[in-house]
Structure 1
Amino acid sequence: MKELSATLRLQFHRGFTLDDATALVDYFAELGISHLYASPLLTARPGSMHGYDVIDPTRINPELGGEPALRRLVAALREKGMGLILDIVSNHMAVGGAGNAWWLDVLEWGRRSPYALFFDIEWNSPDPLLEGQLLVPFLGSDYGEALQQGKVVLTLDADNGSLYAEHYEHRFPITPPSYGEVLRAADHPQLRALAQHFDALKTEPAPYQTARLLRSELAQQLEDAGTRQALEQALKLYDGTSAEGFQRLHGLLERQHYRLASWRTAADDINWRRFFDINELGGLRVERPVVFEETHAKIFQLIADGLVDGLRIDHIDGLADPRGYCRRLRRRVDRLNAGRPPQALQDHVPIYVEKILAAGERLHDDWGVDGTTGYEFMNQVSLLQHDPAGEALLCALWSDSSGRGADFLEEARQARQLVLTGPLAGDFESVAQALLQVARGDVMTRDITLGAIRRALLELIIHFPVYRTYIAAPGRRRLDEPFFQQALEGARSTLGEATGHCSSTSGAGSAAKACAICHVARCASCAARPASVSSS
C-alpha cells in the first residue's frame, strides 16, 4: 500500500454510493491520490446527505450499498495500492424520528433502559416537571396545542404488540407498565386479562424481559381481527381533539419517562447534552467502556479485516475526556493492526482529530494521535488570500454599518454572550446549578448565590481564548494553564470589586472561597476529582 501522501474527500449519500466511488478509482489513482477519505459510513438517518447523524453504529449504511459495497471499493483501491481513511462520529448520534433503537429504548424505559447510560442525560433536574424525565423537544408547536389539534396520535404497532405516540416523523414509545389502562379501555376479555399482567410491571424489579414476552403475547392476540379492532377503537378514546380525549391522552403521556415539548423549549430546559444546539443529535458517553465498545465494534471489525487504514475523529472536543478516548482508541487500533491480513498490514494506522487550535495553542502530545485535520493550516493558507491593506477599509465599513467599534475580540465576546443566554441557555444553567450544589456542600462557599455563579461563569466562558482546556487526575494540564488564567483575569476585570468578587489571583484561602469567580475556577480545576471539589 502507498504511503499516505494525498487524500481525496468523498461525501457519500444515496445519490453517491460506495459503488459509484468504485467506478472512479482508476481516475483517482491517475490523480496521484494515495488514500480516499470517506465521510461516515455507519447507518445514518434515512436520506442523510452527510452521515454524521448515525442511528445504528453496528452496520454500514444500506443506502450506500452496505458492507458488500465497501468491500468492493476496498478491493478496487488495493489493486491500485491505495488506502481508505474513515471519518467516525464518537461524540453523538441522531435522536428523534423513529430510527434509533437505543434512543427509543431510553424513551420507553427511562433510567431502567440499558441504553440510558449511553446518553449524557441529567435525570435529577431542579425543575419538578422534569424530575426523572427526559425533555423531548420535538413538537412543532406548544404541547397543549399539539394535543388539541390532534397532532400527537396514540398509535398501535400490531405486529410488535407495542403502543407509541406519533407526531409527524417522530415516534415516542409508551412504556409497557402504562399499557394496562389502554387495554382495559378496549373492553375485550382477553385484553383485560392481559392488562393485569402489564399493570404488574409497575412493581416488578426487572420488568424489561417480562415486558418483551407480554408484548409478544399481545401481538399474537392482535392477529385476531376482532381483538385488533377492539383495541383500535379504544385508541380513538385518546383523540386529543375532544375534551375527554385530550385529558385521557395527556394523562397517559404524563406517566411516561419523557416530557413532550415544543422545539422552542430546548434552549432553556434541555436536560441532555446535544451537539451544540441541534435537538436531533444527542451526546454519547464514550468515556464509559460499554459505550465505547458498543459504538466502535463495527469500526474495529473493519480495521481488523483490513478495510480501513486510518481514522478521522469528528468533534473530539465534545467528549468528556478526549485524551483518555484517544489513548484507548490508539491502543485498540495498534492491537488490531498487528493481526490484519498480510495485504493490509501497515507499520502504523494513523488517527487524526478534528480539533480547533487557537493562536498560540498546540495539540497535546500525549493523546497518541497523528495530528489534527488541518484547520490551523487552512487558516494560514486563507491568510495568503487576504490583503492586509484591506483591514482598515473593512473595519470602517463595519463601524459605519453597525454603529459599533471595530474591536473583533469585543464582538466575539458579545456573540458568545448571545449564544450562552440564547441557544445554549439550558446547558449553561445546568453547569451553574451543578456549581451551586458544590458551593452548598462546603461551609466556606455556601453563601455564594446562584446569581453570582451565573455571572462569574458567564464572564469566564466569554473570555476563554481557546475552544476548551483539559484536566486529568492531577488537575489542569500545564499547557492549558495560561489560557485559563487569561480567561480568569478577563472575568475579574469585567466583574470587578464592585460586584463583590475578590481580585485574588492565587485561588487560595478564605477570600477565594467566598468569591464566585474563584469558586467556579476551583471547580473547573478539579472537575476530574469530584470528591475533592466539596472538601475544604
Structure 2
Amino acid sequence: MHQTVHPRIPVSTYRIQLNRTFTFRDVAAIVPYLHDLGITDLYCSPYFTAVPGSSHGYDIVDPTRLNADIGTEEDYRVMVDALQRHDMGQLMDVVPNHMGITRQLNRWWQDVLENGPSSPYASFFDIDWDPLKSELQDKVLLPILGDQYGLVLENQELQLVYEDGRFLIRYYDHSLPVAPKPSALILLHRLDSLIRETGPHSPHVMELESIITALRHLPTRQDREPALVAERYREKEIIKRRLATLVESSATVRTFLHENVRIVNGTKGQPRSFDLLDQVLNDQAYRLAYWRVAAEEINYRRFFDINELAAIRMEDPTVFEETHKLLFRLLKEGSVTGLRIDHVDGLYDPADYLNKLQSWAKKELTVASDVTERPLYVVVEKILGVNEQLPANWPVFGTTGYDFLGWLNALFVDRANERAFDALYRRMSRRVESFEELVYRCKQLIMQVSMASELAVLGHQLDRLSERDRRSRDFTLNSLTYAIQEIIACFPVYRTYTTGDTDGILDRDRVFIWQAVAHAKRRNPAVSGLVFNFVRDLLLQSSNHAESDCDERLKFVTRFQQTTSPVTAKSVEDTAFYRYHRFVSLNEVGSSPEQFGIAPSLVHHQWESRQELRSTSLSATSTHDTKRSEDVRARLNVLSEIPKQWKEHVLRWVKINRCHKTHVGGDTIPGCNEEYLLYQTVIGVWPLAPLDEPEYACFVERIQAYMNKAVKEAKEHTSWVSPNAEYEEGIRAFIAKSLDRSIPNEFLDDFLPFQQQVAQYGLYNSLSQTLLKMVAPGVPDVYQGTELWDFSLVDPDNRRPVDFSTRVRCLTEWTRASSADADRLARAQDLFARRQDGRIKLFLSADLLRFRRAHRELFAHGRYVPLAAGGEHADHLFAFARCQGEEMVLAIVPRLITAVVPDAQTPPFGEAVWRDTWLVVPVGQEGVRFRNILTGEVVKTVLRGNKQVLSVGEIFAHYPVACLEKVA
C-alpha cells in the first residue's frame, strides 16, 4: 500500500468534475497527461453516493459508499493506482454541511420520516421538532407537492402501495415510508367482512389479527426512552417479515390487502373516498405540503433555500463519526491526501469541525515529525469580505482561492475609467442606486421570499429571550424580527463565529457586529435604537444577561450566524450579480463589483502577505462556481481600457436591435439592463474559431440558456419560483434575431470587427494572468479544460465535457519536441503566430507548472519581491521576483495593453513598442544573466544610475509574457 507522509502540500492542483459521463476510469486515463502537464495533485469533485444522475455530486445521499454512477471500488483503485504511479496526490471535495434527501435513497432520512424523533438518525439532521406551528409538533414538513395538498390527494397523485411487508406513499419519483403503527388502519379496514367470509378461526386471518394487535401495541414515535426505541425497531421489523410471509402464503389475505390499498387510494370525483388515506398521512412523522410554502413554514435547515438538501448536525460527534468513516479510510490508506471543505460557513462551529479533522489526522496518519498543528492539508471554501481574514483559530492551510482571483482580475481593469462606465451604465440601465444599496434590497427580498421561516424562528427565539429581562420585555415580536432582518441586511461579511467557549468572541467578529448594527440604526432612524442594541449585546455575548439564559442565547447566536451566510450568498452571488451589470467581469464569487480595478502596489502588498501567512492557499482563476471563466473575464477587462469605443458600439447596437424587441403588458423585452448584460456576455464568449451552422446553432442556444438563467436569478421579471414564460420567450427571440447570420445582419456587421479586436487584446490578458497564477504565492489551481482557451459561463455551461484527447495530443507533440533554447524560441514564435488555437496557453501552463514542480522549495518558501519599472510604459507592467538563496525567478507581464499597442494586430514585441521602458532587478552587479523559461532567450542586466535593470523591449522581444530564471 502506498504510504503518504502528511501533510502532503500540493505544488499544483487540477480540478476535475466527476459524474456518469466522466468516471474514475476516465480520470485514470488522463493521469499521465496531467503529470506531463506538471500537475502534482488531482482535485476531485465529491464522489460519494449522490442522487443518481447528479452532474456535480454535492447532493450526497450516502457518505459511506462510493458513487456507483462514477464507478466501483475496483474502478476507484484503478484511478488511485494511476495517481500513485505518477507520485500524484488527491485533494478531495468534502460536503460536511448537508445531504440530498430526494427520493428514497437517503436511508438516514427515510428512517427519520418513518420514525420521527425516535429515529436514531433524528439528531443527524437539523430539524426543529418543536416548531412555531403546533401542527408540526414532532413532524417534518415536506414541501414536495406541485399543488395544494388536498388537490394533489384528490387527484390521486399520492398513491399508497404495498411492498415486502410494508406500505409506502408514492408521489412521482418520491417514495415515502408509512410508519408501522398507522399501517394498522389499512389492515383494519373491512377486517370484519374478511372474518365473516373466512370464519374467525382461519389461521391466516388469525395471523393477520395478531399482526394488527402487534402494530397497535408498538411504542409510539414520541417514545424516546432507549428501551422503548429498541423495542419499536425490533418489533416493527419482525412484524414486516410476518406480514410479508402471510401475504405471500395466503391468496385470501393477499387479495384482501390489495383491495384495501385500492380503496384507500380513493376514487376521483368522490372526495370522501380519500378520507382514510388522509388519515393515514396525517399520522406520519412528516407532513406533505405544496412546495411554495417552504420559505415560511419549513422546519429543517436547508442548504441555502434548496428543499432537497437538508443540513446535517456535524457538531454532533456521532454524525461526525458516521459521515467520515469512508473518508477516513481513504485518507488512512493514502488514496486521499488532502481535503477541500465545501461551504464551511454552513457549519455550526467551523473551527471545531476543522480541529476534529486535524486531531484525527494527528492520531491516525503518518505525520512528519515537525508538524503538530496541521498534519492534514485542508483548504476551505470561504468567501472573504473586504479586509476580512480567515479566523486565526482555524487549523487550515488556506482557502480555495477566490480572494486570489479577485485581486488578480482587478489588476487588469483600468481604474481610471470607472466614471465613464458609471455614466454609460446609468444611461443603459436607468439605475442610480449603488451596488451596496442593491445588495441591501436583495437581502431583504431573500429573507422575505426564500428564508422567511428562518427569520420567523430567529424572531421567536429573540422574543423569548427578551421576555426574561425586565429591561427588554416590552420589545414586541415584530420589532425584534424587524431588527434582526435589518442587521442581517447590513451585515458586512458572510458570518461570524461565536461559539460560547472560553475564548469568547473573536475581535474581528466584534467589529463586524458593531458595523452591521450601526448601519442598521442609521437606516432606521424612526426605530428605537434600543432594540438594535439588544440584538447587538446578545451577539456580542454581553454580560448583562442572566447566566441561566446562556444556552438559549447561544442557540440564538448560532442560528443567526448560520442564517447570515446563506442570505448573503443568495442575495449577492445569486441575485445582485444578475441585476448589476456596470461591468460584469467584476461580478465574481469572492469579488466586489464596486472595486473597479486596483493599484498594482496593493496587489503586491496582498501577495507579500499571502507568501508570509497563506502560501499554501489555492490560487484559482476558474472554478465550478465562477460566474465566468478566466478567459471570458480577461477579454471583458479590455473594455475597461476603451470606454469611448465601447459606448459608441453599445449605443449603436441598441438602435440596430430595437426592432427585435417585443412588448408585453407595458414591458419592453429585453429591458435595457438585460440587453446591456447580453452585449457584454456575447463579447466575452464569442468563439475564436469560425463555427459551422450546427456549431453556431449550439452557440446561440448557450447564450439563450445563460440569459434565461440570468433573468431568473435576477428575480425581477421572472424567476425559478414564478416563471414568466412570455418574458423568457421574448429574450430568447431577441437573441435569436440579433444573432441570426442567415440573413444580412447589421448588428453582426458592426459587432464582429469590434469583438475580434477585443478578443486579440484579451488573449494577452489571459496569458498574463496565467503566468502570474503559476508564479505568485499560493498553489496554482487549474479548472478542467482551461489549459486551452475556455470561454465558459456559469454552470451548467462550465460543466460541459472536456475534450481531453485534443489536449493530450497537443501536449504529446510538445513533449517530443527538442528542449534546446533555439528550438524553444522557434516553438514560442510558432505558438504566438497560431495563438487562436489555444496551444500557447497550454504550453505556457506546462512550462511553468513543470518548472514549479522542479523548484518546489523556491516557490514554497522563496521571498516575494515587487519589482519597480521605469520609462515610457512603466505603468503597463506588473512584475515581481521569487527569491531563495541564490535562486531567483522573475515574472513580468503587460497590463492595460491597449495603450501600448493601439492596433490589436500589432504584437507587443521589442523596443519599437516598449521604447525606453526598463525593469529594476534586485541583483548587485552588472551583466547578471536571466534565461526566459518560455523562449530560451537570455538577457543581461545593465547599470542605469545606481540600479541594475533589464530592457523590457529585450524581455518581450518575441513573446508577450516572460518568466526569467537567473542563471550563472
TM over 0.5, yes or no?
Answer: yes
1:181 to 163, 185, 206: 185
1:224 Cα offset (Å): 2.6
Matched, 1:318 2:346: yes
Between structure 1 and structure 2, the one with the greater Rg is 2
Q: Distance in 1 between matches of 2:459 and 2:168?
A: 35
Matched, 1:327 2:355: yes
Matched, 1:216 2:241: yes
- Specify the alignment match of 2:365 in structure 1: 337
2:302 to 231, 251, 274: 274
- Specify the alignment match of 1:82 in structure 2: 88
Matched, 1:491 2:520: yes
Q: CA-to-partner distance for each residue in 1:60-101, whole Å, 9 max, x for gaps? A: 112211322222111111111111110010000001211101
Matched, 1:168 2:195: no
- Specify the alignment match of 1:379 in structure 2: 406
Q: Distance in 1 between matches of 2:552 and 2:127?
A: 23
- Alignment-mate amino acid for residue 414 of structure 1: R
Relative to structure 1, the CA distance from residue 527 to residue 197 in structure 2 (aligned partners, 3 Å threshold; closer, same or farther) is farther
Query: 1:106-505 counterparts in 2 under 5 A?
Result: 106-158=112-164, 161-185=165-189, 187=191, 188=194, 189=205, 190-202=207-219, 205-206=228-229, 207-224=232-249, 226=251, 227-240=253-266, 241=268, 242-338=270-366, 348-472=375-499, 473-474=501-502, 475-496=504-525, 498-499=526-527, 501-502=528-529
The farther-off stretch of 470-479 and 25-34 is 470-479
- Alignment-mate amino acid for residue 375 of structure 1: Y
What's the TM-score, normalizing by structure 2?
Answer: 0.51
Q: CA-to-partner distance for each residue in 1:436-474, whole Å, 9 max, x for gaps? A: 111122233221111111111011001111111111324
Q: Distance in 2 between matches of 1:76 and 1:217?
A: 50
- Alignment-mate amino acid for residue 434 of structure 2: D
Q: Distance in 1 between matches of 2:542 and 2:167?
A: 42
1:398 Cα offset (Å): 3.9
Relative to structure 1, the CA distance from residue 186 to residue 304 in structure 2 (aligned partners, 3 Å threshold; closer, same or farther) is farther
Contact preservation (8 Å) 1:59, 1:67:
no
- Specify the alignment match of 1:510 in structure 2: none
Contact preservation (8 Å) 1:186, 1:233:
no
1:532 to 550, 560, 569: 550
Q: Distance in 2 between matches of 1:526 and 1:245?
A: 56
1:525 Cα offset (Å): 2.6
Matched residue SS, 2:65:
strand
1:270 Cα offset (Å): 1.1
Contact preservation (8 Å) 1:122, 1:271:
yes
- Number of corresponding residues: 513
- Identity, in percent, stands at 36
Q: What residue ranges of structure 2 are gaps of 5+ in the alignment?
A: 195-204, 369-373, 554-968
Q: CA-to-partner distance for each residue in 1:145-165, whole Å, 9 max, x for gaps? A: 11011111111112xx11111
- Specify the alignment match of 2:101 in structure 1: 95
What's the TM-score, normalizing by structure 1?
Answer: 0.91
Matched residue SS, 2:61:
strand
Relative to structure 1, the CA distance from residue 368 to residue 339 in structure 2 (aligned partners, 3 Å threshold; closer, same or farther) is closer
- Alignment-mate amino acid for residue 256 of structure 2: A
Relative to structure 1, the CA distance from residue 310 to residue 3 in structure 2 (aligned partners, 3 Å threshold; closer, same or farther) is closer
Matched residue SS, 1:471:
coil
Contact preservation (8 Å) 2:354, 2:394:
yes
Q: Distance in 2 between matches of 1:348 and 1:71?
A: 25
1:488 Cα offset (Å): 1.0
Matched residue SS, 1:49:
coil
1:523 to 520, 538, 545: 538
1:115 Cα offset (Å): 0.5
1:394 Cα offset (Å): 3.8
Q: What residue ranges of structure 1 are gaps of 5+ in the alignment?
A: 341-346, 503-514
Q: Distance in 1 between matches of 2:435 and 2:319?
A: 41
Matched residue SS, 1:468:
coil
1:277 Cα offset (Å): 0.4
Q: Distance in 2 between matches of 1:533 and 1:523?
A: 12
Relative to structure 1, the CA distance from residue 214 to residue 526 in structure 2 (aligned partners, 3 Å threshold; closer, same or farther) is farther
Q: CA-to-partner distance for each residue in 1:6-31, whole Å, 9 max, x for gaps? A: 11111101111001111111111110
Q: Distance in 1 between matches of 2:263 and 2:66?
A: 42
Q: Distance in 1 between matches of 2:111 and 2:391?
A: 38
1:408 Cα offset (Å): 1.2
Matched residue SS, 2:431:
coil
Q: Distance in 1 between matches of 2:210 and 2:153?
A: 30
